[in-house]
Amino acid sequence: MSDNSIILSPSARLARSIQNDITQQQTQAGKTQWHSPNVQTLSQWLESIIEQGLLTGAIDEASPPYALSAFNEQLLWEEVIAQSLKKNAFGDLFDISGLASAAMEANRYVVAWNLHVPREHQAEETRQFLNWQRAFQQRCRELGALESVRYVDWQLAHLAQGAGELPARIEFGGFDQTAPQEQRLRDILASRGVEVAEYATTANTPAHTQHVQLENQEAECRAAVAWAQAQLTENPAARLAIVTPRLSDVRNQLADLLDDVFYPLSIRPGLADMPRHYNFSLGTPLAQQPLIQTGLNLLRLMTVHQLQQSDVSMLLLSPFWSASHREADARALLDAGMREKLPMQFTLSHLLEFIKAQQAEGLLLDSLLANIQAAAALSNTRKLPAVQWAQTLDAILNALGWPGERTINSFEYQALNAWQKALQQLARMDVLDKKLAASEAVYYLQQICTAQVFQAETELEPAIQILGIMEGLSAPVDAMWCMHMNDHIWPPPARPNPLLPAFIQRAAALPNADNHVQAIFAATIQQRLLHSASHIVFSSSSMDGESQLRPSPLMQDTAVLSSEVTLAASLAEQLSCHAHDALEHIDDHIAPTVQEGEHVSGGTGLLKAQAVCPAWAFYQYRLGAKALKTPTAGLDNMDRGSLVHGVLEQFWRKRHFADLRDMSAGDFMDALSRAVHNTIQAFSAESSVASAAVLELESERLLRLVGDWLAYEKARGISFRIVDCEVGKKVQICGIEVTLKIDRVHQLETGGLEFIDYKTGQMPKIKSWGEDRITEPQLPIYATFYADPAEQVAGIHFGMVKTAEHAFTGVSVDSFEAELNKRKPPFTQNFTDWQHLLNHWKTAIEAIATEVRQGEAAVRFSDENELMYCEVTPLLRLPERKLQFERFQEAAE
């Protein structure tokens, strides 16, 4: 037996931490040379001992069993369970993955705790599990494999028989409870003469404790971060810990607050990857890392039949493949064009055709096209073993230029290393003896990356460690904040396994068996916490939404802190709070004036935006900012509205009301059908967003909707002659050129003109027509600026073309006739006659146009709901403005 020692820990994180602590202790003691401590995880050490025994011949097995990974074990359980449920009429309704997870846990308990379930106590679910277990073990024998719990038993059996050279002393560090297999290991080590001891990760004396009751979870997070800031301000060398039983729930919230308080400059893109002095023990799924997410999306791009436009859009904007820097602008334009012209789903060949078409129009996409074509040549439609797929998928990503042309940072480099482990895990699926299609291989790789936790190593020694409550520290810290000390969280609620009898789980004191077991477990953890710091603050929440909460019973003997607790502020709140003292306010709401001859696009939409919110008009129409189109399945509301306009234009060309009135039913349907056919045909020639089946359904809808509308117009009985449809005209309004496009202009028998604007959505609010700022100015502009002075304008109306809601809404000269006073809109009460109203419109619209010309661009509006269709809402920064107003009001009070 060698004269050495080793420290064993339950996790790789704790093993690294123990090793770093010992090294730091030696350095602080002034030593320049020392033996590096041998710290390993329990599973790593057992594997090395068995490997040593096989190499030396101490373990005499020609074919040692293969250890199933957790992922392969889950898949094998799923296979067995799915096979057994084939005979069940409702088998497709079962959650196979959930059942497999429960069966894995039950199997681990049965084997590790050596449980036996008497036949008379076997309920249906237990009998089913035992059948699955027998089938699972049979499959393991066929594959020459063992699941993890039986593999540990196999390792311990050989260790007991003398396999491997053991150290003189083994210390166990960070194990809160001793499970049966671990206790068996300790007994075997002692029988072989090894000195078994505990490595102290806690202090001998308990901490000074306080309990803080806060309003809710957010307040707990803010208080913990503010506490950490105060501790480090007082002692920059302090070592701190923030502990919670719900780390996964608050991880992002804590990270954001820590950055806002300690690293506000990290909000800048160039400093986003700056080193931090805090570290989370809980990583995130590998699949969530942007670099890996791009790789998985690229593999789906090359292996699935139907591509989702949203996935392709994400890939085009990703910096992690092909010539992402050189072709960035061209790819962004390709994304915008794809949103306009391609459907929500399409094939890879369709995408390649579209890229070639855009390339022909001048976009520089040579590398993108070459990379996709090279990767497509490597794609395989045959079923292959997993190990071949691991190689093929890696080659496909290389052909696509992944991970991109820029130099990756340390964080991304570690993610790449973790990706290689994921590919190795995919290759290890070969032990299951099954061949996979391309889509299956990518699906399993996605599952592997989702299950694989990624935690990048920090460059700096963390001053603040954020841990789950089950995770131990390698050494006591100076101070600790422990969150979520509420009775519904801590002790954790019981979660007995549904496949084993509850009384057997209670008798064996299995983890999660009942509340008594959980209480004992929580008390054990609590004792470890109490000896892990000099000072501990426990916090709990008083409310969760509308529900009142109570502190954990483990807080009964802890003194409650009655003084006010400081809460950390977000970066936005910090800036708002210090705005009066540290920031200079500049009222910069005037943009450059519109120069003579300068064209401002937007038509009536420009003046509408200016009336609602001047900044909207400036950003969207003068600077040209706009939202990218959101893909929809088939036709969106705008497409459907445009088709209605198109059908009505087609129908009314060369027709008048008299033609509609005198048409026979057959002639009417023929004319309407031709109008629908011509409109659909023109639409499909310009856009491929909808399939033939969708357009056929839309044709039927248009026949019904427009047919009912025209029947409504016929029954209304107001005679008119069509002057023009979808007519365009440019007019000058106070130096601003505005392009008008009017859905319909018709002339009444009295000679007056009426302007009609079709609407297929919500009815516009016309109340503002009587106000100084006309926020729905389209029709008033037509009435005051379209007609020649010699022409008489008789009215303006919105034509509401909606199923069962057909109506004309507006105002006309008739609205001022005494006998028709009931039809007079309320806003007209302030006007003596029609001409008075027309003059008001002209004055109000010219005032808005003058604002545009003078560069008025303030973020000013009377009703936030009127910004519903604003495409540049993020540029208005409404949340920040609201926060500033709130701070100003608080300061004023």
Distance CA 199, CA 169 (A): 11
Instruction: Give the pLDDT confidence score for residue 330 in this predicted structure.
Output: 95
Instruction: Give the pLDDT confidence score for residue 780 in this predicted structure.
Output: 95
Please indicate, yes or no, whether the overall pTM of this predicted structure exceeds 0.85.
no
Condensed to tens digits (0 to 9), the pLDDT of residues 695-734 reads 999 999 999 999 999 999 999 999 999 999 988 888 889 9
* DSSP code string of 313-325: HHHHT-SSSSSTT
Which band of pLDDT confidence, cut at 50, 70 and 90, is reported for residue 892? low
Range 439-462 average pLDDT: 88
Is the CB of residue 773 less than 8 Å from the CB of residue 844?
Answer: yes
852 CB-near residues (< 8 Å, 6+ apart): 594, 600, 606, 607, 610, 617, 622, 736
Range 293-298 average pLDDT: 96
The yes-or-no verdict on residue 8 having pLDDT over 70 is yes
Instruction: Give the pLDDT confidence score for residue 891 in this predicted structure.
Output: 61
Range 821-845 average pLDDT: 86
Which band of pLDDT confidence, cut at 50, 70 and 90, is reported for residue 796? very high
Q: How far is CA 820 from CA 567, 754, 881, in A?
A: 64, 18, 47
Instruction: Give the pLDDT confidence score for residue 774 in this predicted structure.
Output: 94
Range 60-71 average pLDDT: 86
Q: Look at residues 388, 449, 387 and name the one whose alpha carbon lies nearest to residue 421.
A: 449
**Token duo for residue 654:** 């060369």
Range 152-170 average pLDDT: 92
The yes-or-no verdict on residue 1 having pLDDT over 50 is no
The yes-or-no verdict on residue 790 having pLDDT over 80 is no
Which band of pLDDT confidence, cut at 50, 70 and 90, is reported for residue 573? confident
The yes-or-no verdict on residue 2 having pLDDT over 70 is no
**Token duo for residue 338:** 């794809």
Instruction: Give the pLDDT confidence score for residue 819 in this predicted structure.
Output: 54
Condensed to tens digits (0 to 9), the pLDDT of residues 463-498 reads 999 999 999 898 999 999 999 999 999 999 999 999
Instruction: Give the pLDDT confidence score for residue 543 in this predicted structure.
Output: 95
Q: Look at residues 308, 354, 314, 356 and name the one whose alpha carbon lies nearest to residue 332.
A: 314
Range 522-530 average pLDDT: 94
Is the CB of residue 354 less than 8 Å from the CB of residue 365?
Answer: no
The yes-or-no verdict on residue 151 having pLDDT over 50 is yes
Distance CA 801, CA 809 (A): 11
Distance CA 302, CA 732 (A): 53
The yes-or-no verdict on residue 823 having pLDDT over 80 is no
Distance CA 223, CA 539 (A): 9
155: amino acid identity, one letter: Q
The yes-or-no verdict on residue 579 having pLDDT over 60 is no
* DSSP code string of 569-615: PPHHHHHHHTHHHH-------BPPPPPTT-----THHHHHHHHH-HH
Instruction: Give the pLDDT confidence score for residue 887 in this predicted structure.
Output: 66
Least confident of 10-24, 154-168, 286-300: 10-24
| Residue with the larger pLDDT of the pair 345 and 669 | 669
Which band of pLDDT confidence, cut at 50, 70 and 90, is reported for residue 528? very high
Q: Look at residues 639, 652, 651 and name the one whose alpha carbon lies nearest to residue 683.
A: 639
Q: How many CB atoms lie within 10 A of CB 441?
A: 25
Taking all residues of the chain, what is their mean pLDDT, rounded to a whole number? 90
377 CB-near residues (< 8 Å, 6+ apart): 399
The yes-or-no verdict on residue 462 having pLDDT over 60 is yes
Range 801-818 average pLDDT: 86
Instruction: Give the pLDDT confidence score for residue 638 in this predicted structure.
Output: 87
Helices 328-341 and 348-360 meet at what angle, rounded to 10?
Answer: 120
115 CB-near residues (< 8 Å, 6+ apart): 109, 500, 504, 508
Which band of pLDDT confidence, cut at 50, 70 and 90, is reported for residue 78? very high
Distance CA 635, CA 610 (A): 30
Range 56-71 average pLDDT: 85
Q: How many CB atoms lie within 10 A of CB 740?
A: 17
Distance CA 155, CA 149 (A): 10
Range 743-747 average pLDDT: 94
Is the CB of residue 628 less than 8 Å from the CB of residue 335?
Answer: yes
Range 3-16 average pLDDT: 87
The yes-or-no verdict on residue 90 having pLDDT over 50 is yes
Is the CB of residue 154 less than 8 Å from the CB of residue 99?
Answer: no
**Token duo for residue 674:** 């031709």
> What are the start-end ranges of the H helices in 717-833?
778-781
Condensed to tens digits (0 to 9), the pLDDT of residues 654-688 reads 899 999 999 999 999 999 999 999 999 999 888 77
Condensed to tens digits (0 to 9), the pLDDT of residues 589-598 reads 899 998 887 8
Is the CB of residue 761 less than 8 Å from the CB of residue 706?
Answer: no
The yes-or-no verdict on residue 153 having pLDDT over 50 is yes
Q: How far is CA 863 from CA 609, 611, 765, 825, 844, in A?
A: 13, 11, 12, 21, 19
Range 601-621 average pLDDT: 93
Which band of pLDDT confidence, cut at 50, 70 and 90, is reported for residue 212? very high
Residues 249-272 as b/e (b if ≥16 CB within 10 A, e otherwise) read ebbeebeebbbbbbbeebeeeeee
Instruction: Give the pLDDT confidence score for residue 849 in this predicted structure.
Output: 94
Range 297-326 average pLDDT: 92
Distance CA 153, CA 112 (A): 8
